[in-house]
Chain A
């Protein structure tokens, strides 16, 4: 086995994954935004006497959100921002803790 092959195995087996904060934030934001958009419009299409009584509770946090098509756009924007913030900071936090733990482990090694 050549040195670079050994190095690859060494890296894969011992090093920790790092997350890209921006990508993680964007993905989490998009998933959350799309989730709210689809969930809202699904209930609208389904219709009925009272449309989305539970989902409309999101309006308590997302000011202006309602279970309407326009509301779905507003909600998805809110959800995107929230998702982005959560995803971004989760990744940053993860990277920071992982770096700390890896550094400590290497120090012991």
Chain B
């Protein structure tokens, strides 16, 4: 083993994956985790034998290496589970993505009719400018559907009114939808085997924390170090090289040196802790990057079954809870007693705001009241609870974040022996699998001298892939064949060229037909063909008339050909626009999941 250690700041999915990969490549990692357990944002908390997953982590990935690592670590403890996640509104469950019949039954005929009329109204007279999220969604779904299924939940998640939320964020979700993806989604029939990857997912028997505890054990067995309760308080550099970090472990500080450093700590914190500090513009930019936080009120309920879903979205504006996890439906082993149910009530908030600062007892009381109010469980059946706060859960994508992040990234990319990974390290809305991938790629950069761009690993790609997965269009050879065909079918017909060629053909035909009859001769030459003179003034079946016929035929043919090409192009354009729009709506149906 190479005894030059690599320091990894953060024991979440990205950091632990990096450490695990390092041990495989005979390098010694030192993982520094500030909490008392590993897993980071994907950790599993416990209370009286009940396991609580912070956020609900579906194990579903298209990254082969990640999938392999999950199986390699968990073996038989990696369960395959069915997915069900519905919207709970007005004491009724609505399938998500919305299914028209289910929505109609749930909302009632009158409400459904009003939604349909509202949709038509906004399709005919949309907002001219789409500056806010409200305007953007309304233009696509109508005001009533927006008010019913988008407004309340979005405002809970982001904490600001939809009329103040920038439309850019939502538009971003479909901005990169390619014509190719849209067309493929139209042409290819769904493949059941691939579709099931969305309807089902894998899950560790005791939650994601089980995976990360196993990974920790594996790292330690291979001579790696994972230190809990060790917070990095300062990071010292000389020029563009990190020299050492100062950590605070159980109240005392120590220095840790290494040749390479990988960090999954929030990029804003990293910039703050650097010494000497980066240039002022970098510090200012980092300070502008913000996060959304959440807290989970964990409740233990003395009932064996409450609802079938893994999680539900709560759209009721009368309660503060945004999403409820039913952990027993993720894995039966998440509860020690099958006669009871454990729920995780997720409240989206901001670190330090009223909800965040509320005492735990008050939060549990709030959770109990809200669950009772929306009719999921009776207040009297709730026998215990606890609260877990998750700071910096979501990097916030406000309208200016790209600019600020670019400034920070330029500086960080200039550091020679340092790489930032993970959701908060890259300030990117990465899922667990993509966070893990950044850890793997960072290790390859360190050990194998590769030049992987960690910033390009993102979840937007997967979001768009869902359409492709649903259609089975990720099959490479099918794609290539289709792409070749599509480029042929959907190209523009050149109007002028087509007009000219048809004009020439028509002119030549009329010229030859006239000339043929003239040469043939007879008592009355071309009595029928000369009727064309009614449309072409001056035309006759004579030698001179054939020349005029050539010109007339050309002009008429040109107009006909040009018009045909024009209409054909319009038809193709409209078709492509419709296909793109449909694919957009398909993506939009999953929008709530990505709020």
Contacts and interface: CB of A to CB of B under 8 A. Distances in A.
Interface residues of A, number: 28
B79 interface: no
A93 B181 contact: no
Contact of A93 (B504, B509, B517): B504
Contacts of B492: 15-17
B497 A97 contact: yes
A61 to B, nearest CB: 6
A70 interface: no
20 contacts: A2-B178, A5-B180, A12-B179, A12-B486, A12-B490, A12-B576, A16-B494, A17-B488, A17-B491, A54-B528, A57-B528, A60-B516, A89-B501, A90-B502, A91-B501, A93-B500, A93-B504, A93-B505, A101-B494, A102-B494
Contacts of B181: 5
Interface string A75-92: 000000000001001110
Interface in A50-109: 54, 57, 60-61, 86, 89-91, 93-95, 97-98, 101-102
A16 B491 contact: yes
Interface residues of B, number: 30
Interface string A34-63: 000000000000000000001001001100
Given A57-B528, A90-B505, A93-B504, A11 B497 contact: no
A96 B492 CA distance: 15
A97 B505 CA distance: 14
Contact of B491 (A15, A54, A90, A94): A15
B500 A8 contact: no
Given A57-B528, A93-B505, 12 more contacts: A1-B178, A2-B178, A8-B178, A12-B486, A12-B487, A15-B491, A16-B492, A60-B516, A60-B526, A90-B504, A94-B501, A95-B497
A9 B576 CA distance: 11
A15 B488 CA distance: 10
Contacts of A15: 487, 491-492
Nearest to B183: A8
B52 interface: no
A18 B494 CA distance: 9
Nearest to B513: A61
B516 A61 contact: yes
A16 B569 CA distance: 11
A9 B497 contact: no
A24 B380 CA distance: 78
B516 A101 contact: no
B252 interface: no
B505 A89 contact: yes
Contact of B497 (A2, A4, A54, A94): A94
Contacts of B497: 16, 94-95, 97-98, 101
B487 A8 contact: yes
A9 B486 CA distance: 10
Interface of A: 1-2, 4-6, 8-9, 11-12, 15-18, 54, 57, 60-61, 86, 89-91, 93-95, 97-98, 101-102
Interface in B256-294: none
A30 B509 CA distance: 18
A16 B178 contact: no
A8 B576 CA distance: 13
A33 to B, nearest CB: 16
B520 interface: yes
B469 to A, nearest CB: 16
B234 to A, nearest CB: 41
B176 A1 contact: yes
B501 A60 contact: no
A2 B488 CA distance: 20
Contact of A11 (B491, B496, B504, B520): B491
Contact of B180 (A9, A16, A97): A9
Contacts of A4: 180, 483
A98 B487 contact: no
A6 B179 CA distance: 9
Interface string B491-522: 11110111011101100010001001100100
Contacts of A94: 494, 497-498, 500-501
Contact of B483 (A6, A8, A89, A101): A8
Nearest to A92: B501
A86 to B, nearest CB: 5
Nearest to A87: B505
Contacts of B520: 60
B585 to A, nearest CB: 19
Interface string B475-486: 000000001001
Contacts of B486: 8, 12
Nearest to B512: A61
A89 B507 CA distance: 13
A4 B482 CA distance: 13
Contacts of B513: 61
Contacts of A54: 528
A86 B502 CA distance: 9
A18 B493 CA distance: 8
A93 B94 CA distance: 59
Shortest Cβ-Cβ A-B pairs, 7 listed: A93-B501, A97-B497, A5-B178, A17-B491, A94-B501, A98-B497, A98-B494
A90 B496 CA distance: 13
Nearest to B488: A17
Nearest to B509: A86
Given A8-B486, A17-B493, A97 B178 contact: no
Contacts of A93: 500-501, 504-505
A67 to B, nearest CB: 15
Nearest to A99: B497
